[in-house]
Amino acid sequence: MPRNELHEDNRIAWNAATKAHNSHKADQATFLREGGTTLFPEELELLGEIDGLSLVHLQCNAGQDSLCLARLGATVTGVDISDEAVAFARRLSQDSGIPAAFVRSDVYDWLAAAARQPTRYDIVFSSYGCLTWLSDLRAWAHGIAAILKPGGRFVLVEFHPFAHVFDWDWSHAFPYFTGGDPDTFEHGIGDYVALSDGALSPSGYLAGVRDFVNPHRGHEFRWGLGEVVSALLDAGLSITALREYPYANGAKLFERMRERPGKRMIPPEDVPSLPLMFGLTAARRPA
Ligand SMILES: C[S@@+](CC[C@H](N)C(=O)[O-])C[C@H]1O[C@@H](n2cnc3c(N)ncnc32)[C@H](O)[C@@H]1O
């Protein structure tokens, strides 16, 4: 069962963090209006042509990627639990002139409600830092399968779960296998935008909120790659692509990461290569 009470704590922590994150991003509306994008080649490759398709962006945060997807021609609905993120996304949609719908909801509640409606979607998309907030992988996968059209696709680009065994200093500090038990952090999600030295602020980096420490606790979940793939298969989806990448887009997840062209962050020289992101597509079988 989804742990809604823990999600509520996360909502409050994400409200605080989203303010800090956006405080570092200069004039995002102008950036988007002038054709700037926050999307990376990996998700574009897996998504393929989306012009004219209906697309749900789960855990869309403040809507930057959602609006870039809308500008590629998709009819986009973004869903996120954070009040601050959704309010920001709606303002950014207005200010940039790129239409998209944004819904503030726990992803589990939204998926359950959407399954009861007749509308079905061509694409469900989720990316970069989403799985760690999911308390029930099975309910999530079944919810996605239920809202896809026959032949519709789920597209995921995510930090690799193996990378999450490391602490900031690259020490092996966390288990890979947890059985879905939550990890509670007194100071919930931090300011990874500030830690990434501008790579997550393509519109320009501002000093913004300094030394942000989240005053709210957060609960995270660790899911292995096999658990993610199995949940989607068990929900009746077919895995149509699975990729692993030796770099992380935009985010300096650990100390001393080196930036390569395209904002690809790789480990320091003394750390052998390891998977830092993965991507997959999963399709609902045609009727
Ligand atoms: C790292 S961000 C994802 C960023 C995203 N890739 C983007 O396009 O900007 C994770 C998001 O998950 C949201 N989230 C966490 N738990 C959630 C839940 N139970 N339901 C819906 N959204 C949730 C947070 O509010 C946050 O915006």
Q: How far apart are CA 122 and CA 169, in angstroms?
A: 41
Angle formed at CA 57 by CA 56 and CA 60, multiple of 5 degrees: 150
Give pLDDT tens digits for 31-57.
Answer: 999 999 999 999 999 999 999 999 999
Amino acid identity at 234: D
Concatenated DSSP letters for 46-71? HH---TT-EEEEET-TTSHHHHHHHH
Index of the ligand 1 atom closest to the CA of residue 66: 8
Is any ligand 1 atom within 6 A of the Cβ of residue 107? yes
Give the pLDDT score at 276: 98
Is any ligand 1 atom within 6 A of the Cβ of residue 106? yes
Pairing of strands 237-245, 277-284: antiparallel
Query: Three-state SS across 152-211?
Result: EEEEEEEECHHHHHECCCCCECCCCCCCCCCEEECCCCCCHHHHCCCCCCCCCECCCCCC
Q: How far is the CA of 59 from the centre of ligand 1 (A)?
A: 4
Confidence of residue 157 (pLDDT cuts 50, 70, 90): very high
Give the pLDDT score at 145: 98
Q: What percent of the chain has pLDDT over 90?
A: 97
Give pLDDT tens digits for 63-105.
Answer: 999 999 999 999 999 999 999 999 999 999 999 999 999 999 9
Is any ligand 1 atom within 6 A of the Cβ of residue 265? no
Q: How far apart are CA 103 and CA 114, in angstroms?
A: 12
Q: How far is the CA of 112 from the centre of ligand 1 (A)?
A: 17
Index of the ligand 1 atom closest to the CA of residue 109: 20
Q: What is the pTM of this model?
A: 0.97
Residue 196: pLDDT over 90: no
Candidate from 9, 19, 130, 223 with most ligand 1 atoms within 8 A of CB, to mutate? 130
Is any ligand 1 atom within 6 A of the Cβ of residue 59? yes
Give the pLDDT score at 100: 98
Q: Say which residue the tokens 């997550």 belong to.
A: 200
